[in-house]
Amino acid sequence: MASSLRGEVVRLYKNLLYLGREYPKGADYFRSRLKAAFLRHKDEKDPEKIKQLIARGEFVIKELEALYFLRKYRAMKQRYYSDDK
């Protein structure tokens, strides 16, 4: 694997690990799934395939951020608006 791709993969792993701290099913669950996903593709040598996997990881980051923003929005909405209609 080229060193530039290796750096991207390591950065992606660290970002996902950081985002996984607040995962709804727990940080340990997320960490074990993340590790398994990265170990499943550890022997990949094709740069194009690696770039596709990095793109999928970045998509997962966006999905996690959306999940966390939605959770935060729902909590704020529940806190400041009552359900009385």
Cβ–Cβ under 8 Å, residues 53 and 41: yes
Handedness of CA 4, 6, 9, 14 (dihedral sign): negative
* Residue range 27-64, pLDDT digits in tens: 999 999 999 999 999 998 999 999 999 999 999 999 99
pLDDT tier, 75 (very low <50, low <70, confident <90, very high otherwise)? confident
